[in-house]
Structure 1
């Protein structure tokens, strides 16, 4: 690079695993931010969308308000309701792919099956299975981004005899399009997010439903401003489309309140005490059954497990067609489920709403320069650095890696922060002659130590079984960030380069080149662009500034009891 001006690009190739929300966003960011860069997205499914392509069970919907489940720069005025269906969300990301011209850069039905680091070349050699042709093809890249997601590797529950069941056995994440449950007796295992959505959705079709509940769970019913489940009127949707500023104010209000909720996750906080009382009283009012209250209302704090809007769930539990069976399933017989007390509950169809493999291990062998696999390194605990990188695997980045803010507040803005963080690394690799960037072991160890210490003061540490803790009740919290979502976004804005080992192809200053910059090589470029009448530069030191929230945002308290119409009128 000695004969080139400062900040000259070297051509780079990037491979992205997965065309779900994260992978599509990463592709968009690469197109927007870089020249002289080629990338390819490989997606194992026949279409994009990730979890929103795969999960189509009855009642499947987002558990975040739909107007917060968009990219910060890409609103959708057409959402039908507070909690959009999986079909609507899939269509949103499909439109995003189309508008961002990512079709040519996305190969569907192509599953990454292996990746190995070539230390001499400074590249990842990647194996991809062409699913349609059943052949393995090879590719290589300078930077490897795993956007394969968390909730997309479903698994059967570890119940003895499960596959001895002679009726129809189905997992919620692999729901068959033509599955006929009309007039059938359905057994439903699980009362997490999926189970809570499935029960009220299938009840009108089935003859009866036996729901097997192992543990209690908080069900969000009311009380959080703007989060009430409802349909948007045609008039509201037309106003959102006609008046982008009106929609922007509405989105900011929801996002503001979503961020304000974070203190409920701090054990013994006032917000936690208020929310616990609110949730307990609302569930008691809805259940009006001491036996169900004892079985379904948790002893642990609100938020220890992921909160799910329980649209119609409590009513479905009390329906005459529903039988609630509480406790552990000892085994599954050819006819149905046998509980620990020996009682058998025969069913025609058995639905397992029992979750995913949330170990965070790659779904393929990922081999670093030392010859080890990341899955082996993470066999006891996934150890990431800020949810994005990990020691021992240079030029390897994760979106929604371990300890990302997936339950701390708004979700998609955290993914945006991660994609921007990765882009800053790619810029350094491209313009400064960098061969590899790898986070140090000390940095990972100290991050994990801080995270574990922080979590001791949160509700997530309490004795509830959660996928945040690898589907255990007492394990380490491996899924969540130690702080709020806004905390995470700000933490990732400035890269701690001191936490990374950086290797260059030659002298680390070779990128200084010929003593000139790229802009100086352009005949009509403004070489005095920095001259101005006033200092309007952003603050670069520790001087604190903030944007004050407008009245329409702060007037909607998260535990406000005003009517929805009063709140909407304020907007």
Structure 2
């Protein structure tokens, strides 16, 4: 239950202001956003569009915006989501070069977005948040930031703290003994040194996740030899109908100049992405048919019995993150590529000692070994009880619908635990989260709310529901996945219990009954001085509700959904399938 608080001195002026102002008076709100990647930029855009009396500061550790698309510059780095659908729903880009765009082109998209909408004025680059502590007397956060330009710490304060730091940004070396002993050139895909020339070198490549799959075919034509170390199987196959394709000048011209052409293309791709959720449910026809198709494709591309046995999984398709893997399987069979399957026992001064008893010497060792995907904040976040969210989420992170944490008031997070990071179109899910946050901030700004946080019992209920649902999904299969904290048998902490469309509908409104809300003074102080906002606007229509016909909003959820989704206008969605002419690939960050 929400309860009343005695107003603190810092808030008395706000109460007095409300008493003399009309209903829903908008107080000044200070927001600190951590990270100027895709989510942080979208937050700034939405806040700028929807609010007037708001103060936003985005602290970004890098020298540029766009997060992962600024950081990752390894050879072949690209997004395995169709490029025209790796955009905001309202911000298309007609001139993408190809179906799967490279990281530089994606960086340019988000950089252009930030400049077009004037978002850089909110961003302080090369400023890294290193700590945030809740102040109970002021009901906000004291935030400590390291100014990387001058190597000094600065302090800031906010009413609401938004973590848009993302998941795939804290890269890590593999946990292999002896890595520090290696005398050759050591590289990590997420911390790439572009000055290193691989031409004519014998290169070792550790990992067959998304990064490793992109690196191998890119470097293979230029190196003397590649020894790629693989310890477990994974599904790799471009999806029929959306293989890599470079758009022709005519296609780009039509996307730019032909009315409706680009919109229809984007809708067709998104429809396919949204039509594949049954792939992730066990023993569905979509799962079985698509798995058979993928295995057939892999066998045709590998054409090697040993590699087929080692690389094709026996668990369900989609248990681990899918990737189109353009030219990866074909490259494994090239004459200058050697596959070593198994565990690396240790790294030596010359290379890798593997469990087959052999030491493989290499000139350059590339670690395509991913990120810290534990969901813990990258900085100490201290709540009212003095506990650190890093410690609480160290074993199993438990969030409220992927956007908030119990017992940490006025704290919002993008892509938190159990949000749809791999369930369907990911940027659509991020937009949905941003819109939900705007609704929360609006309520906070126009009411005398002091603090809000999801109730622990509510989060426990959500986790219980999620765990039961996951038993029906392929994600629960015994594969090692970052969806499950890189374990084979652990709770699924990275994914939503449903489709992306399911998430969008679930987040369509704020369920305030799920929150512990505390007010500054009388909770009805927002009623103000008895006047409406309309009456104080002499340019407004003071009889706006008088009409010739009932054109007002619909109040039932069903009617709202029918209008929003244009129900009755589509005839072919029932035929959308993962396998066939309309199939689409699974999107990822």
Normalising by the smaller structure, the TM-score range is over 0.9
Show the 5 A alignment for 1:498-517: 498-517=513-532
Aligned residue number for residue 250 of structure 1: 265
Please tell me whether the aligned partners of residues 184 and 349 of structure 2 are also in contact (alpha carbons under 8 angstroms): yes
In the alignment, the residues of structure 1 paired with residue 403 and residue 27 of structure 2 have an alpha-carbon distance, to the nearest angstrom, of 24
Please tell me whether the aligned partners of residues 238 and 323 of structure 2 are also in contact (alpha carbons under 8 angstroms): no
Q: CA deviation at 1:4?
A: 0.8
**How many residues in Structure 1 have an aligned counterpart in Structure 2?**
562
SS at structure 2 position matched to 1:502 = strand
Aligned residue number for residue 305 of structure 2: 290
Please tell me whether the aligned partners of residues 58 and 123 of structure 2 are also in contact (alpha carbons under 8 angstroms): yes
In the alignment, the residues of structure 2 paired with residue 333 and residue 408 of structure 1 have an alpha-carbon distance, to the nearest angstrom, of 40
Aligned residue number for residue 489 of structure 2: 474
In the alignment, the residues of structure 1 paired with residue 148 and residue 239 of structure 2 have an alpha-carbon distance, to the nearest angstrom, of 46
Q: 1:215 aligns with which of 232, 252, 255?
A: 232
| Alignment of 1:523 onto 2:543 | no
Q: Deviations over 1:483-539 (max 9, x none)?
A: 000100110111111110111111000110111211111112102222223323332
Show the 5 A alignment for 1:65-214: 65-214=82-231
Aligned residue number for residue 52 of structure 2: 35
Q: 1:426 aligns with which of 423, 427, 441?
A: 441
SS at structure 2 position matched to 1:338 = strand
In the alignment, the residues of structure 2 paired with residue 465 and residue 390 of structure 1 have an alpha-carbon distance, to the nearest angstrom, of 26
SS at structure 2 position matched to 1:27 = helix
In the alignment, the residues of structure 1 paired with residue 335 and residue 581 of structure 2 have an alpha-carbon distance, to the nearest angstrom, of 32
Q: Deviations over 1:255-310 (max 9, x none)?
A: 00001111100011111011101101111111121111101111011111111111
Please tell me whether the aligned partners of residues 221 and 283 of structure 1 are also in contact (alpha carbons under 8 angstroms): no
Please tell me whether the aligned partners of residues 232 and 342 of structure 2 are also in contact (alpha carbons under 8 angstroms): yes
In the alignment, the residues of structure 2 paired with residue 410 and residue 92 of structure 1 have an alpha-carbon distance, to the nearest angstrom, of 17
Residues 99 and 379 of structure 1: CA distance in aligned 2, closer, same or farther (over 3 Å): same
Q: Deviations over 1:215-269 (max 9, x none)?
A: 111012232x4x2211111111111111352100100000000011111000111
Show the 5 A alignment for 1:415-454: 415-454=430-469
Q: CA deviation at 1:71?
A: 0.3
Aligned residue number for residue 559 of structure 1: 579
Residues 533 and 228 of structure 1: CA distance in aligned 2, closer, same or farther (over 3 Å): farther
Aligned residue number for residue 344 of structure 2: 329
In the alignment, the residues of structure 1 paired with residue 25 and residue 196 of structure 2 have an alpha-carbon distance, to the nearest angstrom, of 57
In the alignment, the residues of structure 1 paired with residue 383 and residue 581 of structure 2 have an alpha-carbon distance, to the nearest angstrom, of 54
Is the deviation greater in 12-21 or in 237-246? 237-246
Aligned residue number for residue 81 of structure 2: 64
Aligned residue number for residue 363 of structure 1: 378
SS at structure 2 position matched to 1:430 = helix
Normalized against structure 2, the TM-score is what?
0.93
Higher relative contact order (CA 8 A, sep 6+): 2
Show the 5 A alignment for 1:310-321: 310-321=325-336
Q: Deviations over 1:319-368 (max 9, x none)?
A: 01100110111111111111112111111101110110001111111101
SS at structure 1 position matched to 2:19 = coil
Aligned residue number for residue 253 of structure 2: 238
Please tell me whether the aligned partners of residues 253 and 552 of structure 1 are also in contact (alpha carbons under 8 angstroms): no
Which ranges of structure 2 fall in alignment gaps of 5 or more residues?
Answer: 1-17, 585-589
Please tell me whether the aligned partners of residues 252 and 553 of structure 1 are also in contact (alpha carbons under 8 angstroms): no
